[in-house]
Structure 1
Amino acid sequence: MPIAVGIDVMPARRKISVGELADRAGITPANLAVLENARAKAVRFATLAALCEVLDCRPGDLLRWEAEDTASSRAAPAGAS
């Protein structure tokens, strides 16, 4: 997936536990774990904003774009000859 999640890094930098982060951001620890492990298909802007507020950071500190494997991106589209 081209979007990488770095939510596990910022709490450590801010010296805040995952449980405290979840509590202060108003989400469950289970949902925070889903985000941390990049298993989420989506994230609400309100959730992202709450995490950024608690961690005093920007969305780009938590999420980043990473290019996919260049070999797979050069593959011909399906049905092309």
Structure 2
Amino acid sequence: MGDDDTGIHCRLDELLAERGMTLTRLSELVGVSIVNLSVLKNDRAKAIRYSTLSAICDALECEVGELLVRG
């Protein structure tokens, strides 16, 4: 656990799998690069714009609390 570890986990991988969606398709839907989505998916993101968060939740038909969890 590094100094930057917030204890927040991004469940992007699980949500994509549950919906049968690829990272490439999500990238097309939300207008965010695959590289940036991968950073988020691998819990390496330090921040996320509300607009990006909203677009991801719209595309995955989920709530913020389903995507980002503590622990």
The aligned length equals: 66
Provide the TM-score with structure 1 as the length reference. 0.78
Q: Using the alignment, how far apart are the partners of 1:65 and 1:40 within structure 2?
A: 14
Q: One-letter code of the match for 1:20? A: R
**Percent of aligned positions that are identical:** 38
TM-score, normalised relative to structure 2: 0.88
CA RMSD of aligned residues (A): 0.7
Q: Which runs of 5+ in 1 are unaligned?
A: 67-81
Superposed counterparts of 1:34-73, under 5 Å: 34-66=39-71
5+ long unaligned stretches in structure 2: none
* Structure 2 equivalent of residue 76 of structure 1: none
Larger radius of gyration: 1
Where does structure 1 differ by over 2 angstroms across 4 or more consecutive aligned residues?
A: none
